[in-house]
Amino acid sequence: MKQNGRYKYIHIMPMGASSFCINFILFIDKYLSAREHLFVLLSKNIIDKLVDLDNVIYEDKSRAEVLYKYLPLGDSIILHSLPYPIWTFLFMKKSLLRKITWWVWGHDLYRTHRVKRDISSLKKRLVYCLKFTLNLMYSFVYELIWSCLYFSKVKKMKSIIVCCRADQDEVRRRFGSDMKIFRSYYTSGYYYPELVQLEEKRMDDSINIMIGHCAFDFLKHREYLDKLLVYKNEDIKIVLPLSYGDISYAETIETYARTLYGDKVLILRENLGFLDYVKLIKTIDIAIFDYKHQSALGNIMLLLLWGKKVYLSSKGILFKGFKDDGVNVYDCDEIGNIPLKELSLHLYPNTLGIEYAKEAFDEKFLKKNYENIFEYLAKK
């Protein structure tokens, strides 16, 4: 509720992952004191599901402009992801920084998901090479400035919200032990009692192997398409979700996969609705996510929820984070080096992983979690 020209909580939300934002807003409106919250959406497009809410507004300005516009108007500012340029916080006073809570999305902490530029023509290659050379010359200095100045500003923020132990450990490593950290999930809008009723529709008895969750090259699709060739003559199906990311990369991977596996590959180029995607996840036996940073956590939680076998990079923070939480995940280095039966069967009980994942789809758990966060922000 706006009081004396101010709001208790102001959320600034990019709409690149609009379903997460929409479901979160609707959850707050249903279960918490919605009138204490103002949601500022960085979009010029009106969201149909939110038209009846009078605490949702739209801004088509730069992220920095929006942030500075609303900083004086709220007791607490929650930034859902932090894709701001270095200068945004550079000269910000400590009193303003202390209003800000950063809700980590993953790519904003690790700065990943970069789409490769088209350098097919000679002119584009020359321009790219020139820019690349210049980037190398100042990148070290830039990173040093970014680390020293940007990190020093983040340390002065009120708190950080993360969704898993891996991010929590990374935040501690970067910003120190004094930073207040909450662990919380975004709501999907769907919960376990409903999801468990969804029917698992398998077309056959093949072992279904999913590589990654989108079309970015850090997921190493080509590498694992090659490694899985040792199982090609067995009853397998390769599932490749390529519905978003680098379009050119998606096309390249689709062509390569079909060349290698023919009709033993399922390519997803269109976005599925959440429930349809859950039905697909229920048919997966093995999922491969080989990278060192945090990504695809929502996908991994769904896979764990249904007791699927998840392979992660043993050098990555997710592998360590899940192991520290007692959740059984497996090492990507085993792929291609062990028989298919061993690859697909759990060597250890997966009960803890199922219970662990249920929290992300538990209405009461999420409500209590959000209440704790906002109570803390209100006291500070």
Q: What is the pLDDT of residues 328-359, one digit of tens each?
A: 999 999 999 999 999 999 877 788 999 999 99
What value does the mean pLDDT take over residues 154-171? 94
Q: How far apart are CA 161 and CA 112, in angstroms?
A: 19
Backbone angles phi, psi at 80, to 5 degrees: -85, 100
- In this structure, the answer to whether residues 93 and 151 fall within a common structural domain is yes
Q: How far apart are CA 94 and CA 172, in angstroms?
A: 20
Q: Is the per-residue pLDDT at 132 higher than 90?
A: no
Domain of residue 74: give its range: 7-189+362-378
In this predicted structure, what is the pLDDT of residue 90?
Answer: 80
Percent of the chain with pLDDT over 90: 72
24-61, pLDDT tens digit by residue? 999 999 999 999 999 999 998 999 999 999 999 999 98
- In this structure, the answer to whether residues 34 and 119 fall within a common structural domain is yes
Q: Is the per-residue pLDDT at 107 higher than 70?
A: yes
In this predicted structure, what is the pLDDT of residue 149?
Answer: 75
What value does the mean pLDDT take over residues 70-86? 90
Whether 80 maps to a domain, the answer reads yes
Number of domains in the chain: 2
Q: Which amino acid is at 153?
A: K
What value does the mean pLDDT take over residues 250-274? 97
Q: Is the per-residue pLDDT at 117 higher than 60?
A: no
Whether 323 maps to a domain, the answer reads yes
- In this structure, the answer to whether residues 160 and 266 fall within a common structural domain is no
- In this structure, the answer to whether residues 345 and 215 fall within a common structural domain is yes
- In this structure, the answer to whether residues 323 and 263 fall within a common structural domain is yes
- In this structure, the answer to whether residues 232 and 344 fall within a common structural domain is yes
Backbone angles phi, psi at 162, to 5 degrees: -125, 165
Whether 303 maps to a domain, the answer reads yes
Q: Output 89 or 269, whichever has higher pLDDT.
A: 269
Q: How far apart are CA 293 and CA 272, in angstroms?
A: 25
Closest CA to 106 of 25, 22, 166: 166
- In this structure, the answer to whether residues 167 and 111 fall within a common structural domain is yes
Q: Is the per-residue pLDDT at 4 higher than 60?
A: no
- In this structure, the answer to whether residues 114 and 21 fall within a common structural domain is yes
- In this structure, the answer to whether residues 150 and 210 fall within a common structural domain is no
- In this structure, the answer to whether residues 181 and 205 fall within a common structural domain is no
Backbone angles phi, psi at 157, to 5 degrees: -70, 160
